[in-house]
Structure 1
Amino acid sequence: MILASLSGASAHEGHAHGDAPPPPNIQTAPRATAASPLFELVAVAADNALTITLDRFDTNEPVSGATIEVETPEGPAVASIDAESYRLDAPWISRPGDHELLFTVTAGADIDFLPATLRIPAAATPPAEEPGARGFLSAASVQEISKAVFAGIGDRLRRNDPAMLAMGGIGFVAGMLVMALMRRRRLAAGVTAAILLVALSSTFAHAETAAPTGGTVVRDVAQRLADGRVFAPKAAQRILAIRTMVASEQEHRRSLELPGRVIADPNASGFVQTAVGGRLSAPPGGFPPLGAKVEAGQVLAFIEPSLAAIDQSSIRQTQAELDQEIAISDRQVERFRKLRASGAVSATQLDEAEITLAGLRERRAALDEMKLVAEELVAPISGVVALANASPGLIAESNTVVFHIIDPARLWIEALSYGGEAIGQTASIADAEGGLIPLRLVGTGFSENSQAQPLHFAIEDNGERIRLGQMVTVVAETSASATGLAVPRDAVIRGANGGDIVYVHTDPEVFESRSVRTEPLDGARVLIVAGVAPGDRVVTQGPELLNQLR
Structure 2
Amino acid sequence: MPIRPAAALLRAAALALALALALWAGAALTLWAGAALALSAGAALAHEGHDHGARDDLSAPAAAAPRGEAASEAVELVAVARDGALTLHLDDARTNAPLVGATVEVETPDGPRPAVATQEGSYVLAAPWLAAPGHHDLLVTVTAEGVVAVLPVDIDVPAPAPEAAPAGSRLRALLERLARADPVPAAAAAGGFVLGLAGPALLRRRGGASLAALLAVAAALLLGAGALARASAHEGDGAGHREEAHAALPAPAGPGADPDLARRLPDGGVFVPKPVQRLLVLRTAVTQEGVFRRSVALPGRIIPDPNASGVVQSSVGGRLSPPPSGAFPRLGTRVRRGDVLALVTPPVQAVDVSDMRQRQGELDQQIAIVARRVERYAKLAPSGAVAQIQLDDARAELSGLRDRRAALDAIRQAPEALVAPVDGVVAAGAAVAGQMAAPGTMVFQIVDPARLWVEALSFEALSVEAPAPGAASTARLADGRSLTLDYRGSGLAGRDQAVPVQFAVRDAPDTLRIGQFVTVLAATGEETAGLALPRASVVRAGNGQDVVYEHVAAERFVARPVRVAPLDASRVLIAGGLAPGRRIVTEGAELLAQVR
TM-score of the two chains, using structure 1 as the length reference: 0.78
Say if 2:56 is the partner of 1:31: no
Distance 1:4 1:541, change over 3 A: farther
Shift of 1:4: 12
Q: 2:543 aligns with which of 480, 497, 508?
A: 497
Q: 1:288 aligns with which of 320, 326, 329?
A: 329
Task: Check whether the contact 1:386–1:406 (CA below 8 A) recurs between aligned residues.
Answer: yes
Structure 2 SS opposite 1:363: helix
Say if 2:403 is the partner of 1:385: no
More strand as a share of residues:
1
Say if 2:304 is the partner of 1:264: yes
Q: CA-to-partner distance for each residue in 1:97-130, whole Å, 9 max, x for gaps?
A: 121122111112111121121111111113589x
Task: Check whether the contact 2:473–2:520 (CA below 8 A) recurs between aligned residues.
Answer: yes
Shift of 1:535: 1.6
Distance 1:347 1:88, change over 3 A: closer
The amino acid across from 1:498 in the alignment is: G
Q: CA-to-partner distance for each residue in 1:368-392, whole Å, 9 max, x for gaps?
A: 2323212222222222222223233
Task: Check whether the contact 1:258–1:474 (CA below 8 A) recurs between aligned residues.
Answer: yes
Task: Check whether the contact 2:483–2:508 (CA below 8 A) recurs between aligned residues.
Answer: no
Distance 1:400 1:40, change over 3 A: same
Q: CA-to-partner distance for each residue in 1:408-457, whole Å, 9 max, x for gaps?
A: 22222211111233424231224677565322211121141533111111
Task: Check whether the contact 1:255–1:476 (CA below 8 A) recurs between aligned residues.
Answer: yes
Q: 1:40 aligns with which of 76, 80, 89?
A: 76
The corresponding residue for 1:57 is 93
Distance 1:300 1:137 in 2: 101
Q: How does 1:336-375 map onto structure 2 within 5 Å?
A: 359-375=400-416
The amino acid across from 1:547 in the alignment is: A
Q: How does 1:72-151 map onto structure 2 within 5 Å?
A: 72-84=108-120, 85-127=122-164
Distance 1:107 1:482, change over 3 A: same
The amino acid across from 1:497 in the alignment is: N
Shift of 1:32: 0.8
Task: Check whether the contact 1:8–1:211 (CA below 8 A) recurs between aligned residues.
Answer: no
Distance 1:224 1:128 in 2: 30
Task: Check whether the contact 1:178–1:193 (CA below 8 A) recurs between aligned residues.
Answer: no
Distance 2:536 2:512 in 1: 20
Q: Which has the larger radius of gyration?
A: 2
Q: Which runs of 5+ in 2 are unaligned?
A: 1-31, 197-217
Task: Check whether the contact 1:101–1:116 (CA below 8 A) recurs between aligned residues.
Answer: yes
Q: CA-to-partner distance for each residue in 1:145-203, whole Å, 9 max, x for gaps?
A: 99xxxxxxxxxxxxxxxxxxxxxxxx9x997665448999x9x9999999989x99x98
Shift of 1:396: 1.8
Q: CA-to-partner distance for each residue in 1:258-298, whole Å, 9 max, x for gaps?
A: 11222222222222222222222233163322222222222
Task: Check whether the contact 1:103–1:114 (CA below 8 A) recurs between aligned residues.
Answer: yes
The amino acid across from 2:432 in the alignment is: S
Distance 1:103 1:447, change over 3 A: farther
More helix as a share of residues:
2
Q: How does 1:299-448 map onto structure 2 within 5 Å?
A: 299-323=340-364, 359-419=400-460, 420-425=462-467, 426-430=472-476, 436-448=482-494
Q: 1:516 aligns with which of 556, 562, 574?
A: 562
Q: Which runs of 5+ in 1 are unaligned?
A: 147-170
Structure 1 SS opposite 2:276: helix
Equivalent residue pairs, number: 506
Task: Check whether the contact 1:178–1:194 (CA below 8 A) recurs between aligned residues.
Answer: no
The amino acid across from 1:117 in the alignment is: D
Shift of 1:458: 1.9
The corresponding residue for 1:159 is none
Q: CA-to-partner distance for each residue in 1:9-58, whole Å, 9 max, x for gaps?
A: 7798899x9x9x85864444111111222111111111100111000011
Say if 2:266 is the partner of 1:226: yes
Structure 2 SS opposite 1:371: helix
Distance 2:230 2:401 in 1: 142
Task: Check whether the contact 2:458–2:464 (CA below 8 A) recurs between aligned residues.
Answer: no
Structure 2 SS opposite 1:267: coil
Distance 2:534 2:86 in 1: 36
The amino acid across from 1:277 in the alignment is: G
Distance 1:479 1:191 in 2: 99
TM-score of the two chains, using structure 2 as the length reference: 0.72
- Aligned-CA RMSD value: 4.5
Task: Check whether the contact 1:298–1:379 (CA below 8 A) recurs between aligned residues.
Answer: yes
Task: Check whether the contact 2:323–2:340 (CA below 8 A) recurs between aligned residues.
Answer: no
Distance 1:404 1:449 in 2: 24
Distance 2:571 2:279 in 1: 25
Distance 2:352 2:451 in 1: 45
Q: CA-to-partner distance for each residue in 1:189-246, whole Å, 9 max, x for gaps?
A: 999999989x99x98xx99xx9983425331211222332211110011011110101
Shift of 1:488: 0.6
The corresponding residue for 2:315 is 275
Q: Percent identity?
A: 45
Task: Check whether the contact 2:477–2:517 (CA below 8 A) recurs between aligned residues.
Answer: no
Distance 1:542 1:192, change over 3 A: farther
Shift of 1:347: 8.8
The amino acid across from 2:127 in the alignment is: A
The corresponding residue for 1:167 is none
Structure 2 SS opposite 1:535: coil
